[in-house]
A and B are shown apart, each in its own frame.
Chain A
Amino acid sequence: MTSAIGDGPAPLDLSGITVRFGSFTANDAVDFSVGRGEIHALLGENGAGKTTLMRVVAGLIIPQEGTIRIDGRPVRLASPLDAAAEGIGMVHQHFMLISTLTVAQNVCVGIAKAGRVFPDLAKVARDLEEIGARYGLQVDPHALVGSLSVASRQRVEIVKALYRGARILVLDEPTAVLAPQEVDGLFRVLRMLAEAGTAIVFISHKLGEVMALSHRVSVLRHGRLVATKPTADTNPAELARLMIGEDLVLPTVDGAHTPGQVAIETRGVSLRDELGVTRLSDVSLAARSGEIVGVAGVDGNGQQQLAEILAGLQAPAAGAVIMASPSGPVDVSRSGPGRRIALGLAHIPEDRHHTALVDMSIADNAVLDSIDRPPLARRGFLAHRAIRAFATRLIAANDVRCTGPEQGVMTLSGGNQQKVVLGRALAHDPRVIVAVQPTRGLDLGATAFVHRQLLAEREKGAAIVLVSTELDEVLALSDRIVVMFAGRIVGAMSRAEVTLERLGAMMTGQAA
């Protein structure tokens, strides 16, 4: 695909950008540019410096060295307002919307265009609808952001950027949170925007997406730019090599398996949400020691709720959750996560910021669920040395790229945060693992690592419930697959029986 890149100076041109955090260099003399109407993909391992570079563009970080040019003009971007004034819009890896405000109100925050003191919300709403219609980005301006699905929040972020007159649009891992159909929708929008002349930076770990969407690809490794190529002149294998410096094979589960006893089980579980909508109805699912049960389905069909019920974050309205214990099966329906953790449960939640991580150091997060156990604490007093040692081991074992256990976990790159969550979950030989989208936001190498870890736990006899919207992942790892649709399990099959057609039909609710 050759681009419709316009002539003249590039809308965005970075040269020699260097960003250091203390002694750590996150971006090392990076050159990067995007042309008019170009979609430029930015690739790199977790912690390679992609987000950092784009935070520079968004005015969130002032680089120690380097020049930013907009349309050929050197500019100084000292705040997000400066960046917005230059026509730069960013859709962050972690969204930046206020959930208690409506879409229109969110769009107004911090901009003069909407009216200085009292924003003209009606006018903003009309403008948003107009933008939405033009690019096929349906959003309801009056909806509360908190009530929106992840995909629609992302549309809000894009519409917000466009409303503010973005000519340069940066999207940091926008597809990580989307279901496949939603990805198609996003791509249509981005292509349309590019046609209209917008310069787009697209970050993703999925090579297929990069190949399908972008005009050019740049690869960062350890903060350095290692290549910039027209997409047409490269291929996924080469890109993977550039990113991680070696060839990569994703592991798969081996066919032979002799599962043991049932380790966790739901019996006829149902759940309604606060609004009274049925989220789960009559779900029965069992996972045996030494097997991986994949839960497939389009996002939002109850997988999240099922995982929360297994983990003890929600109590079912009806039905029971049973876990194995040394003294036989116990009903844990009414007990919270504490009891289940004691029985050997580990939960890798979908939304790590809300459920798994706390704004403290890596070390503190590493011991979050085991702080009461010796040697981490004795007689109620923390053993700081033991905590540090534990965290240091976890960092090494999981290849967390950081400056040390004292680093704040929120300053880690998204993928490295996930490694902390995962390392913690697997640190105490769990008997049951509930893993929800465990490789979301992870690079190829880290994904392979997680897959190997889960398979190793299976070998050791853990029962694993793997919830994922990535079919490849479910297919590669599962001994058995169940499919969820509209809050029910609509089908179950063993590895041998799986065909893509059958899966696809079940996921869309067409077959049982």
Chain B
Amino acid sequence: MSSSEAAGPSPSSALAGRSEFVSSLLAVVLALAVGAVLILAWGASPVTAYAALLDGAFGSWNSLGETLLRAIPLTFTGLAIAIAFRGGTFNLGAEGQLFLGATAAAWVGLAIPTLPAPLLIPAMIVTAAFVGALWSLLAGVLKLRFGANELITTIMLNYIAILFVSYLLRGPLQEAAGYLPQTERLSANARFPALIAGTRLHLGFLLALAAVVLAHIALWHTSWGFKLRVVGLNARAALNAGYNVRLLTLSAFVVSGVLAGLAGYMEVVGVQRRMIENLSPGFGYTGIIVALLGQTSPFGVLAAAILFAGLQVGGSTMQTASGVPSTLTTIIQGLVVLFVIGRGAVDLFLARRGAK
């Protein structure tokens, strides 16, 4: 686009220097503050409610385990979206990539259940990653070949993927008993060991941490990551610098799909032990918020994933302890999005206030 851009220092130079971290933190604090008002309006005490929320999310080994367990898929989908975003593409298709990756992994696990774990686990991981990448790549090819906007194609591909998985789970891959849309249970060889005894937290959390570190290294310490970021910021300058922009764009789709596929794999082997129709309560979409709140930086994504997982896990404790419906946490998540996106407006507001 040959546009006249507003280059140069950010308009609110008076406030330049506020780090992205602070602005994310501010978004969370503001969201919690508005949430507190809603709790008051509901007729409960925000202090009690939030204390219960905190307790439910992090108060015991068990609740901490549940929170981190929930953070695993969110970390993977968050990373998936963050990396795509850094490369200038919007992968809204993590949900579909997750479902297909999960199903493919389950299929491998069920096809060769007796393979020893050290072989079976990598085989399932590779399959999930490969299928996720393939599905994502499809959107990438549609974009480069036909100029189809990935905002639309990835969402449409989600429907195709999820409905296709439903078909498989009611047809070819359905358990022998044949009541529910789900596969047989995976063999013990295919499952992950628990990380903290007595909790459901499994080895996948360490893999999520490893993915965060790897993504960080890839983005900030490799020439691939450097070029990917350049493409995301200014594709024309990347072209002029001699980069293979198309290939880099495709690689962003691929890496993103790999990570989303792994998110599905984690749920299958770590939580459900089988593929089920309702595997994901929208991890692929929540991942978008996680990526945004994490400022599309891998460690930020990890922090945001744990925060969102905590909100979701602690919500039910809050409901029991204070009567505030757990759906409040959904509202808080929504508010976080608004405040992250509305950051510019908040800055401007504060600047005007401060100046008067």
Contacts and interface: CB of A to CB of B under 8 A. Distances in A.
Partners in one complex: yes
Given A76-B356, A78-B352, A358-B233, A60 B11 contact: yes
B1 A355 contact: no
Contact of A382 (B4, B14, B223, B243): B223
A360 interface: yes
B223 A371 contact: yes
A49 interface: no
A347 B236 CA distance: 13
A358 B234 contact: yes
Interface in B188-237: 220-224, 226-227, 229-230, 233-234, 236-237
A419 to B, nearest CB: 16
Interface in B1-42: 1-9, 11, 13-14
Contacts of A410: 7-9
A97 to B, nearest CB: 4
Nearest to A98: B3
A94 B4 contact: yes
A94 B241 contact: no
A62 B1 CA distance: 32
Contact of A94 (B5, B233, B239, B242): B5
A416 to B, nearest CB: 12
Nearest to A62: B14
B355 interface: yes
Nearest to A308: B240
A334 to B, nearest CB: 14
B351 interface: yes
A95 B6 CA distance: 6
A79 B352 contact: yes
A89 B118 CA distance: 69
A107 to B, nearest CB: 14
B164 to A, nearest CB: 36
B348 interface: yes
Interface in A52-79: 55, 60-62, 76, 78-79
B48 interface: no
Contacts of A341: 241-242
B149 interface: no
A145 B3 CA distance: 8
A93 B221 CA distance: 35
Contact of A146 (B2, B11, B242, B355): B2
Contacts of A96: 4, 6
- A76, A92, A359 — which one has the most chain B CB atoms within 10 A of its CB? A359
A355 B237 contact: yes
Given A60-B11, A146-B1, A354 B237 contact: yes
Contacts of B13: 21, 55, 60-61
A94 B230 contact: no
A99 B356 contact: no
Contacts of A76: 355-356
B244 interface: yes
A381 B4 contact: no
Contact of B242 (A92, A93, A99, A369): A369
Interface in A268-322: 311, 313
A96 B10 CA distance: 12
Interface string B23-67: 000000000000000000000000000000000000000000000
A192 interface: no
B355 A358 contact: no
A99 B240 contact: no
Contacts of A354: 2, 5, 234, 236-237
Nearest to A356: B237
Contact of B4 (A78, A79, A95, A411): A95
Contacts of B227: 371
B221 A153 contact: no
Contacts of B240: 311, 313, 337, 347, 349, 355-356, 369
Interface in A76-90: 76, 78-80
Interface string A238-282: 000000000000000000000000000000000000000000000
A382 B226 contact: yes
B221 A355 contact: no
A97 B223 CA distance: 34
A61 B9 CA distance: 10
- B4, B241, B348, B355 — which one has the most chain A CB atoms within 10 A of its CB? B4
Interface string B330-352: 00000000000000000010011
Contacts of B221: 381-382, 384
Contacts of A349: 240
Contacts of A126: none
A339 B241 CA distance: 10
A399 interface: no
A134 interface: no
Contacts of B243: 338
A21 B14 CA distance: 9
A79 B3 contact: no
A166 B244 CA distance: 47
Contacts of B14: 61-62
A359 B234 contact: yes
Contacts of B348: 79
A372 interface: yes
A237 interface: no
Nearest to B220: A382
- B3, B227, B348, B352 — which one has the most chain A CB atoms within 10 A of its CB? B3
Contacts of A381: 221-223
A99 B1 contact: yes
Given A60-B13, A381-B221, A355 B236 contact: yes
Q: Rank and list the top 3 A-B pairs by shortest CB-CB distance, nearest first.
A: A78-B355, A99-B3, A95-B4
16 contacts: A62-B14, A76-B356, A78-B351, A79-B348, A145-B3, A349-B240, A354-B5, A354-B237, A358-B237, A358-B238, A360-B233, A368-B237, A368-B241, A377-B222, A411-B8, A411-B9
Interface of A: 21, 51, 55, 60-62, 76, 78-80, 92-100, 145-146, 153, 311, 313, 336-342, 347, 349, 353-360, 364, 368-369, 371-372, 377, 380-382, 384, 408, 410-411
Given A369-B241, A371-B226, 16 more contacts: A51-B8, A55-B13, A62-B14, A76-B355, A76-B356, A94-B5, A94-B6, A146-B3, A336-B244, A337-B240, A349-B240, A357-B234, A364-B230, A372-B223, A380-B224, A384-B221
